[in-house]
Amino acid sequence: MRHVFSCWRGWIAGAAYLVLLHPGASFAAELRIPDFDSLKDKASDSAIISLDENLLGMAGRYLDSSKPADAKAKSVIQGLKSIQVRSFKFDKAYPVPTAEIAALRAQLNSPLWHQAIKTHSESDHSDVDLFIGGDSNQARGLLIIVTEPREFTVVCILGAIDLAKLQDLEGHLGVPKLPVDK
Amino acid sequence: MSGDLEGDLRRALRPVEPSAEFTDRLLARVAAAGRATTRPRRTWLRPAAVAAGIVLAFGLSWGTYQHQLQERAFRAHAELLKALAITSRSLDQAYQVVHSSEVDRADGG
């Protein structure tokens, strides 16, 4: 009886480790990507897309493997937990939602996330921030924030991301070759 | 003439007491007809109708569910392609920025 009890304690301790301490566990919970409601009314065109693992699976079933573009897309979404996109286009200058961006950034805790690219172009008045989550072996999250004078985009991809596969989309969905460190 | 006719009619339509045999036959027929109308009803008919209704409702619900599922899948498919296109565009912007800064560095060096 004592053995069973100690065995259960072991299981509980293991589960607690997985839930609370394991680095990958944090990626199981989705990042809270704001809907940027303040931009919706001002935008001339907007896309708010949230696809969880279930919907990705459903969508994947409609990808035709015989078509190269669909086959590549199918390959990319394998192992993904979610894709969230917030994209807004404007006819004129818009107020950058700094508070929501700050709230989003606050969720990207080190060492699980690190900023791979942070650029500011004075000439284009644009900012590009790219964060990669995970460890050195496997990217588990990708977050891109693009701020331009007439466009604002946030893309968040969670799951086992194969950057090489994303590169492989080049020429199919217009994805360029990324400088991937291997 | 008319008196004879009236008499004939009275005679023809006079009440006649039925014979006992006729009465017995009539009662036997009435009893038989009663048995026919009170024979056991088709007791399976109501449960069968209920079962058929349930099956029909389930079928309709399942069909509606499948239709909604298919619609959701189509929408998810379209959203996925759009999301990947936006992602690729965003990555492209990141790449352009990195690439241009590399070129600037190379030109400067």
Q: What is the pLDDT of residues A141-175, one digit of tens each?
A: 999 999 999 999 999 999 988 766 765 565 455 44
CA distances from A5 to A8, A9, A12, A15, A149 (A): 5, 6, 11, 15, 62
**Is B87 near chain A, with CB under 8 Å?**
yes
Q: Model confidence over B54-101: pLDDT tens digits?
A: 999 999 999 999 999 889 888 998 899 888 888 888 887 777 777 776
Under an 8 A CB cutoff, do B83 and A73 touch? no
Peptide bond into A111 cis (omega under 30): yes
- Note the pTM of the prediction, 2 decimals: 0.68
Q: Which of A36, A41, A43 is nearest to A84 (CA)?
A: A36
Distance from the Cα of B67 to chain A's closest Cα (Å) equals: 13
Check if the beta carbon of residue A82 is closer than 8 Å to that of residue A27.
no
B84 to chain A: closest CA residue: A173
* Interchain proximity A58–B88, CB inside 8 Å: no
Q: Please tell me if residue B101 touches chain A, with a CB cutoff of 8 Å.
A: yes
Q: How confident is the model at residue A85 (pLDDT cuts 50, 70, 90)?
A: very high
Q: How many CB atoms lie within 10 A of CB A17?
A: 11
Subunit contact A59:B79, Cβ cutoff 8 A: yes
